[in-house]
């Protein structure tokens, strides 16, 4: 029994772009074919992109996906292609569970069989039970060049004593796993651990192929890999890059099964040994470069896939807007990033200078548009209505809303997408102005705590070997500069304390009584928990942003806006 040459096709596909996706799939297939691959493996729902969400409720969309697969399969020759798609002939007849998340095995211009995903995740960002019926019956095994090949899809591989074990017991000698596994910090190592567990249980090698790219809030980081029967990782693709990774892998020495679908193929006269291959065994990125690359990919793809080329960022002279502008510059090129300082009567001279220095360091186009005239006009317009009332956050928030209006005006005029600059700490406690600094299209650092942002800025300067982000921005006390001598810590605990507490509340779902038992100061816990609760309505109206943590605001965390639960009494 010989080894199989596998092409792991780690592609950046777009939801709904059936024509573009099919072109990419066919181009990758041609590359695999040219490299004498036996099997080209594509990712979960590769034909339509992942996640298609309620596009799946459109019967015409599902039919177009299946027609597209037929077209792709007609281009497939003796190199077998395993391709993810939406399938189900009875789609229109069942309005509740109309489709299956499937993988088609194609060769010789035909489709030889289809595997339907069994494990449908419905936690976190996943909602697959809303759309798909789980696969049933004995999972198919395909005989390819004398090797019994089993196919699984994403969540199937995460479950012990599941379909992997069933395939192995039925005679599978290698298992292909198609994925659309979203990124979060540290997940590469978790995936490897899971794969090695399944290999240990089944004694069968596993090829894991993951997609790459940004899709709304989700980031797909690739990192496709192959684990041999002994548990060693013999091939691993880089993160955040498109690649067709080609490698040879030895099938398990198992008794063959008679219950297989034969894929008739001509024997190849020449099959180069694995020593002739260029080995790909990329190491996972370190934490800070991994986060940076993830956010750059998310930002670049959000623009590219939405048909925008340029962005505009309001620079306050603070750390948050500085990080957003730096990420955008790396993602898009500085020539596509336009920064704007919008000083008010409370803006410090050093903040205006710091914003200009940052833009110069990045090489971005930079403007200064003072808002004093507009601010005065608003105050005068409201003077009669506010007569004899003291100034408060109302007047402060006017400044932020003026800035939001001006940034949106620039966006409308020049087709520049507005990137917002709020971080996870601020979003958690509502330290933002609705229709002000929340106005925009994409919230790049929405899932980064404030303390992470400082660490990321220091790393960026160190990695560049120079000050990209001026040290004066990093060292200055954080302030919204909406009133004289304002500091964030006037209203909030120090971020080192606040972020630790917020992680417990937001990511660990702990309530007041639990946090007090853990030793947190009771009044601080009650105050911060209350701020998190009442800010939910703001968060629902804020722009989407890329998920990089185990639990991000957005589709990953679903708290009712109107709810009367009081965690302090429990």
- Alpha-carbon span 510 to 504, nearest angstrom: 6
Give the Å distances, CA to CA, from 237 to 30, 247, 508: 19, 11, 32
Query: Which one from 44, 155, 184, 504 is the annotated catalytic residue?
Result: 44
Residue 9 is a catalytic residue:
no
Pairing of strands 225-227, 261-262: unpaired
* Placement of tokens 């090698």 in the chain: 205
Residue 154 is a catalytic residue:
yes
Query: Which one from 9, 48, 79, 117 is the annotated catalytic residue?
Result: 117
Pairing of strands 100-107, 80-87: antiparallel
- Residue 558's Cβ-count burial label (10 Å; 0-12, 13-18, 19+) is exposed
- Alpha-carbon span 447 to 439, nearest angstrom: 17
- Alpha-carbon span 238 to 282, nearest angstrom: 5
Q: Quick check: 46 and 12 in contact, CB under 8 A?
A: no
Q: Quick check: 246 and 5 in contact, CB under 8 A?
A: yes
The angle formed by the CA atoms of residues 466, 469 and 472, to the nearest 5 degrees, is 105
CA 213 to chain centroid: 7
- Rounded to 5 degrees, φ, ψ at 452 are -65, -35
Report how many helices (DSSP H) and strands (DSSP E) the chain contains, helices first: 16, 20
Quick one: tokens of 57?
């409720």
Pairing of strands 310-315, 110-116: unpaired
- Alpha-carbon span 219 to 198, nearest angstrom: 25
Quickly count: other Cβ atoms within 10 Å of residue 105's Cβ: 25
Residue 44 is a catalytic residue:
yes
Query: Which one from 154, 293, 504, 547 is the annotated catalytic residue?
Result: 154
Quick one: tokens of 514?
């639990």
**Which sequence positions are flagged as catalytic?**
44, 117, 154
């Amino acid at each position: 029994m010989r080894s199989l040459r596998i092409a792991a096709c780690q592609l950046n596909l777009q939801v709904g772009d059936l024509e573009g996706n099919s072109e990419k799939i066919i181009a990758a297939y041609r590359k695999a074919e040219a490299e004498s691959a036996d099997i080209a493996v594509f990712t979960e729902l590769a034909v339509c992109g992942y996640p298609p969400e309620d596009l799946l409720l459109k019967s015409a969309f599902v039919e177009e996906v299946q027609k597209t697969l037929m077209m792709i399969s007609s281009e497939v020759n003796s190199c077998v292609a395993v391709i993810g798609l939406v399938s189900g002939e009875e789609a229109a007849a069942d309005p509740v569970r109309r489709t299956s998340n499937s993988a088609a095995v194609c060769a010789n211009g035909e489709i030889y069989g289809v595997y339907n995903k069994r494990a449908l995740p419905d936690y976190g960002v996943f909602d697959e039970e809303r759309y798909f019926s789980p696969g049933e019956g004995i999972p198919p095994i395909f005989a390819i060049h004398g090797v019994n090949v089993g196919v699984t899809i994403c969540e199937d591989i995460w479950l012990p004593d599941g379909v992997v074990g069933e395939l192995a017991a039925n005679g599978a000698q290698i298992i292909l796993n198609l994925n659309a596994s979203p990124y979060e910090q540290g997940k590469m190592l978790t995936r490897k651990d899971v794969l090695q567990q399944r290999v240990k249980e089944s004694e069968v090698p596993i090829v894991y192929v993951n997609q790459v790219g940004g899709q709304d809030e989700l980031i797909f980081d690739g990192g496709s890999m192959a684990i041999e029967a002994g548990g060693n990782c013999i091939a691993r693709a880089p993160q955040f890059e498109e690649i067709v990774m080609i490698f040879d892998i030895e099938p398990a020495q198992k008794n063959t099964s008679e219950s297989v679908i034969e894929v008739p193929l001509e024997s190849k006269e020449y099959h180069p040994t694995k020593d002739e291959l260029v080995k790909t065994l990329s190491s996972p990125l370190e934490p800070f470069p991994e986060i940076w690359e993830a956010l750059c990919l998310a930002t670049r793809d959000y623009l590219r896939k939405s048909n925008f080329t340029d962005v505009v960022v309001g620079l306050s002279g603070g750390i948050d807007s500085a990080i957003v502008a730096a990420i955008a510059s790396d993602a898009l090129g500085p020539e596509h990033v336009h920064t704007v300082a919008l000083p008010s009567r409370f803006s410090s001279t050093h903040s205006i200078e710091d914003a200009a220095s940052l833009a110069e360091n990045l090489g971005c186009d930079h403007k200064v548009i003072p808002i004093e005239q507009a601010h005065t006009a608003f105050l005068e317009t409201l003077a009669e209505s506010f007569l004899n009332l003291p100034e408060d956050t109302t007047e402060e928030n006017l400044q932020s809303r003026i800035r939001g209006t001006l940034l949106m005006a620039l966006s409308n005029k020049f087709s520049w997408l507005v990137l917002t600059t709020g971080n996870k700490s601020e979003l958690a406690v509502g330290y933002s102005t609705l229709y002000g600094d929340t106005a925009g299209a994409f919230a790049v650092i929405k899932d980064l705590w404030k303390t992470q942002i400082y660490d990321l800025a220091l790393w960026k300067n160190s990695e560049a070997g120079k000050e990209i982000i001026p040290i004066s921005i990093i060292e200055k006390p954080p302030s919204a500069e909406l009133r004289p001598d304002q500091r964030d810590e006037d209203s909030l605990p120090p971020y080192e304390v606040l972020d630790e507490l917020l992680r417990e509340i937001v990511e660990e779902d702990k309530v007041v009584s639990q946090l007090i038992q853990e030793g947190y100061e009771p009044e601080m816990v009650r105050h911060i928990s209350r701020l998190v609760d009442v800010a939910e309505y703001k968060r629902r109206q804020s722009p989407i942003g890329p998920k990089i943590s185990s639990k991000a605001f957005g589709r990953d965390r679903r708290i009712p806006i109107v709810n009367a639960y009081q965690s302090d009494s429990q």
